Structure 1
Amino acid sequence: MTGKVVLHYFNGRGKMESIRWLLTVAEVEFDEVYLSTREQYENLLSDGALMFQQVPMVEIDGMKLVQTRAILNYIAEKYNLHGKDLKDRIMINMYSEGLMDQMEMIMMLPFSSDAKSKLDTIQTKAIERYLPVFEKALSGPMYLVGGKLSCADVQLLECTLMLEEKFPAILSEFPNIKAFQGRMTKIPAISRFLQPGSKRKPQPDETYVKTIMEVFKIKLP
């Protein structure tokens, strides 16, 4: 047994993508087992590997971790990406929660029957609710909390790149965030992750959506 971290999820972004990002920044090698059939999912259930019958699931340090935020917090703590003290951690967690809210709206788009309306809502909330928070936080500091790279910084980069895929000019009024992006993408591990052929996943396609629906027996209205 190599002890390498193993990710169990679909061959796509979803809730696992933030975990891939954080492991990459921590420079942790990982393997992936892709769910593609209902049988694989049922095997995980019968093995007791999924505490709440949900993925993502991450095998790390002899544990089988579930729940995205719990997994992210564990990785952040283990690899010193969660601030220097309790006050830092709560700020990081607040930023991360907001970013996850924004990203989850984008994640749900492929499963929506009214994508245009959802896109308009995502853009409005990004511009009016989320991006101003980070623009203000980055008005002087290099990073969001404590002058040091944290998991919140990694998620902010991931989130803003996702937004730009949908709305290419969305950061035009947020120069501090744009400058932050430039700094973050120069970090060697991130630079490699953004290159073709890395473990970063592309935007979801029909195959990704179809696989999830078949594995979970979901029927859209």
Structure 2
Amino acid sequence: MAEKPKLYYFNGRGRMESIRWLLAAAGVEFDEEFIETREQYEKLLKEGRLLFGQLPLVEMDGKKIVQTRAILSYIASKYNLYGKDLDDRLLINMYVDGTIDFMSLCISYPFIPDAGRENQKTLIKQKAQERYFPVYEKVLKDHGRDYLVGNKLSFADVQLLEAILMAEEFHSDILSCFTHLQAFKARTMKIPTINKFLQPGSPKKPRPDAKYVATVKTVLKM
């Protein structure tokens, strides 16, 4: 029996959360080693496991995989969540890059000084409603299918659902003008593997708190 993938990251969302989401959607169980001290991080560096000196790191299939998009692409390809051909993959990559760009605004939020957080929340809503969500709304409306690409669950759908739920943590009414995204959210959350990941006790991480932020800053000497 193949070993479970092992994830190395902080005990929080950050860049690893999308990787957790994708593995969970594929029905793949995984183990995690949480980086809580500078010493753990330096050990990974000395052992040469961090190619560019950065987390996240995923060990699977005998490989030490770094760089978030490379990890996600490998998982999506391995578990048939990357479309049927090159054209599908092109669309998936474009949609995923959009959600990654948007979620970066949310991921950075806990590290912003208190004085700038209201402005960041406003920016998150503006970018969601004016730049990113209209794109996915139009795609779903125009082709009339359940999923973004090829009417089959893909990496892009998993990432979009994560982005929607993250945005709703800042603004609960963020989908009020997007009826197709509302329907997409409802049906995608019912997919058994995703529904399981959304339940209490799963590896899904909560919103970052002060302890998480302090740990990241200490480990990375920020």
TM-score range, shorter chain: over 0.9
1:80 matched residue in structure 2: 80
Match of 2:205, SS state, is coil
TM-score (ref. length: structure 2): 0.97
2:180 to 176, 179, 188: 176
Shift of 1:54: 0.3
Q: Give me the whole-angstrom Cα distance separating, in 2, the residues matched to 1:78 and 1:11.
A: 25
Q: Give me the whole-angstrom Cα distance separating, in 2, the residues matched to 1:3 and 1:173.
A: 45
Identity %: 58
Q: Aligned AA for 1:116?
A: E
Flag the 1:48–1:143 CA change in 2: closer, same or farther, 3 A.
same
2:140 matched residue in structure 1: 138
Where does structure 1 differ by over 4 angstroms across 4 or more consecutive aligned residues? Answer: none
Shift of 1:4: 1.3
| Gaps in structure 1 of 5+ consecutive residues | none
Q: Is 1:203 the equivalent of 2:203?
A: no
TM-score (ref. length: structure 1): 0.97
| Gaps in structure 2 of 5+ consecutive residues | none
Q: Give me the whole-angstrom Cα distance separating, in 2, the residues matched to 1:87 and 1:29.
A: 30
Q: What's the RMSD between the two structures over aligned residues? A: 0.9
Q: Give me the whole-angstrom Cα distance separating, in 2, the residues matched to 1:137 and 1:166.
A: 24
Shift of 1:69: 0.4
Q: Give me the whole-angstrom Cα distance separating, in 1, the residues matched to 2:72 and 2:2.
A: 22
Q: Aligned AA for 1:163?
A: A
Shift of 1:205: 0.1
Shift of 1:2: 5.8
Match of 1:138, SS state, is helix
Q: Is 1:112 the equivalent of 2:112?
A: yes
Q: How many residues align?
A: 218
1:166 matched residue in structure 2: 170
Q: Give me the whole-angstrom Cα distance separating, in 1, the residues matched to 2:52 and 2:201.
A: 33
1:93 matched residue in structure 2: 93
Shift of 1:25: 0.7
